[in-house]
Structure 1
Amino acid sequence: MTSGLLVCVTSYMFGSYDFRFFSKPSGYIGVYDPAEIHNRNQLKGYMQEAMVKLGYHLVFFFVYLYSTIIRLVDD
């Protein structure tokens, strides 16, 4: 049950990144264009996205660490 949930959330995060990467027009440098950081109207969205990704990585680091420790202790 929990491993299925972990796979679903992880695949959603990778899928959303892939969508952003492949939906950029051909004239753009990429997802992380250094010149776009100076647009104040987009900066709030970039900061919010960075905090969501940071939270995701922190939570799932400890979830996977806990799962690994429990699996090792049970053996």
Structure 2
Amino acid sequence: MLILFIMCQALATVLMLVSLHWFVFLLNLPVATWNMYRVWKVPMGNMGVFDPTEIHNRGQLKSHMKESMIKLGFHLLCFFIYLYSMILALIND
């Protein structure tokens, strides 16, 4: 499921580059890169990025919560930027 999300986000980032939406492309590029890095950094044998046993054993819950809140803020910001862009495009047509 996480791989599908990363592929969709990478595709959206590439589409923004192709359609010359530079601001949105530059906004999405660091997050798409970070997500790909996180998936490739998962050690062999773990269930995924957020392996429940590893989070509680190593005390990583706080750092994972911080990362999740930052991503939530990013997605809310993107939602309102996309909504504004859509409304502006509908008004201008």
Query: Which 4+ stretches in 1 moved above 2 angstroms?
Result: none
Q: Choose from 25, 38, 45 the match for 2:56.
A: 38
Tell me the TM-score normalized by structure 1.
0.84
Letter of the 2:47 partner, please give it.
I
Identity, % of aligned positions? 44
Write the distance in 1 (CA, Å) between the matches of 2:64 and 2:36: 16
Alignment correspondent of 1:52: 70
Alignment of 1:7-26 (within 5 A): 7-26=25-44
Larger RCO of the pair (alpha carbons < 8 Å, separation 6+): 2
Higher-Rg member (1/2) = 1
Write the distance in 2 (CA, Å) between the matches of 1:27 and 1:70: 48
Write the distance in 2 (CA, Å) between the matches of 1:24 and 1:37: 13
Alignment correspondent of 2:4: none
Unaligned 5+ runs, structure 2: 1-20
User: What is the number of residues matched between the two proteins?
Assistant: 73
